[in-house]
Amino acid sequence: MTKANVSLGGKDILDIASLSVDEIELILKTAAEMKKIMKRDIKKVPSLRGKAIVTLFYENSTRTRTSFELAGKYLGADVVNITTSSSSVAKGECLRDTILTLQSMNFDAIVMRHPMEGAAAYAAKISPAVVINAGDGAHAHPSQALLDLLTIREDGKKDFKGLKMAILGDILYSRVARSNIAAWTKLGADVHVAGPVTLMPHDIASLGVTVHDRIEDAIEGADVVDVLRIQLERQKKGLFPTTREYARIWGLNESRLKLAKPDVTLLHPGPMNRGLEISWDVGYCDNARIRDEVQNGVAIRMALEFLTLTGGKHIENID
Ligand code: CP
């Protein structure tokens, strides 16, 4: 039960570790209400009228950037998008000056993706605007973890206590893995990980997970399986012999998925490298909730923008 006095008003959303269970529950409850707005013919409410949001992306994105923009627009905010290739960042402007420049324009929220861990926290330190981390290096992607929680709940798994949840693949470079481990352990799940030793953080066990050498052991009896994208853009070369070898030993295919519970919830943050970490058929199978994750991404980002910018404790405030 969410406590009545929980409020996210003015709070920066930097990672899952800095959200309490009550705050997470408030976000999920609010996102469920936001989905009702998304299903209307006219998907627009004035809750954030007069608020200005900027998305500032130093890395490519389809899902996250678009859904933060759409979320703000559905709630009536003015939303401006900046990507590095078309901004003064390409002329060499430093992060501090870019944030101060946006501040001079009086944005209420900065949604930021950056390749360096801690970049969003730095922006939050120097800007009075609400900062929402849309991914900082391999550190955190809190809105992805929240949309995954909503997706798992909608798939009938309301209580995470005792659920076996497996995360597979490139853990080392994955901010999604770190955020999901933080969220799932916080809610009492039994979290298992498997991946090549070259793509496993040396301190992984300190995160409260069980580490496996074989993908099959992590999948066996799992209620939830989350397959990670191989982060080819972040990796040094030579961390695994060939992509064919990776798919053979670490790829999720139909026969491996059969080791999980029949009602397993299959997640992938996208974009998928089909035929590498996930086979073509498994990505489209009945247990795959990958497109639900995308839809829930809009609802979660509506909830985050609404709750941080209005302080709305109660969903009645939305229209
Ligand atoms: N899951 C995710 O962050 O996707 P994008 O890179 O397309 O935003």
Mean pLDDT, residues 193-222 = 96
| Span 1-40, pLDDT tens digits | 455 689 999 999 999 999 999 999 999 999 999 999 999 9
The length of the chain in residues reads 319
Ligand 1 centroid, distance to 51 Cα (angstroms): 25
> Helix 142-154 crosses helix 63-74 at what angle (to 10 degrees)?
80
Bridge partners, residue 166, by sequence: 192, 225
63 is catalytic: yes
Phi (first) and psi of residue 40, to 5 degrees: -70, 160
Alpha carbon distance 311, 84 (integer Å)? 31
Mean pLDDT, residues 206-230 = 97
Q: Which atom of ligand 1 is nearest to the CA of 269?
A: 1
H/E element, 296 = helix 290-310
Contact status, residue 226 vs residue 148, Cβ threshold 8 Å: yes
Ligand 1 centroid, distance to 114 Cα (angstroms): 12
Contact status, residue 225 vs residue 266, Cβ threshold 8 Å: yes
Contact status, residue 111 vs residue 141, Cβ threshold 8 Å: no
State the pTM of this model: 0.95
H/E element, 81 = strand 78-83
Ligand 1 centroid, distance to 316 Cα (angstroms): 30
114 is catalytic: no
261 is catalytic: no
11, 63, 65, 268: the catalytic one is 63
Transcribe 153-177 into DSSP letters.
HHTT----TT-EEEEES--TT-HHH
- Position 1 scores a pLDDT of 44
| Span 28-72, pLDDT tens digits | 999 999 999 999 999 999 999 999 999 999 999 999 999 999 999
Q: What is the 3-state secondary structure (H, E, C) of 44-65?
A: CCCCCCCCEEEEEECCCCCHHH
Task: Count CB atoms within 10 A of the CB of residue 199.
Answer: 21
Determine the residue of 56, 58, 59, 61 to mutate for testing ligand 1's pocket, defined as the one with the most ligand atoms within 8 A of the Cβ atom.
61
64 is catalytic: yes
Mean pLDDT, residues 189-216 = 95
| Span 241-269, pLDDT tens digits | 788 999 999 999 999 999 999 999 999 99
- Position 297 scores a pLDDT of 98
Bridge partners, residue 109, by sequence: 53, 130
Give the residue among 184, 168, 172 at the shortest CA–CA distance from 226.
Answer: 168
Alpha carbon distance 128, 150 (integer Å)? 29
Alpha carbon distance 204, 200 (integer Å)? 7
| Span 107-151, pLDDT tens digits | 999 999 999 999 999 999 999 999 999 999 999 999 999 999 999
Contact status, residue 81 vs residue 65, Cβ threshold 8 Å: yes
In the structure, how many helices (H) and strands (E) does the chain have?
Answer: 11, 9
Contact status, residue 35 vs residue 294, Cβ threshold 8 Å: no
- Position 85 scores a pLDDT of 87
Ligand 1 centroid, distance to 176 Cα (angstroms): 10
- Position 272 scores a pLDDT of 95
Q: Which atom of ligand 1 is nearest to the CA of 66?
A: 8
Which residues lie with the beta carbon below 6 Å from any ligand 1 atom?
61-64, 135, 144, 269-271
**Whole-number average pLDDT of the chain:** 94
The sign of the dihedral angle between the CA atoms of 195, 201, 207, 208 is positive
11, 51, 113, 186: the catalytic one is 113
244 is catalytic: no
Across 172-186, 188-202, 207-221, 305-319, least confident range: 305-319
Alpha carbon distance 144, 178 (integer Å)? 11
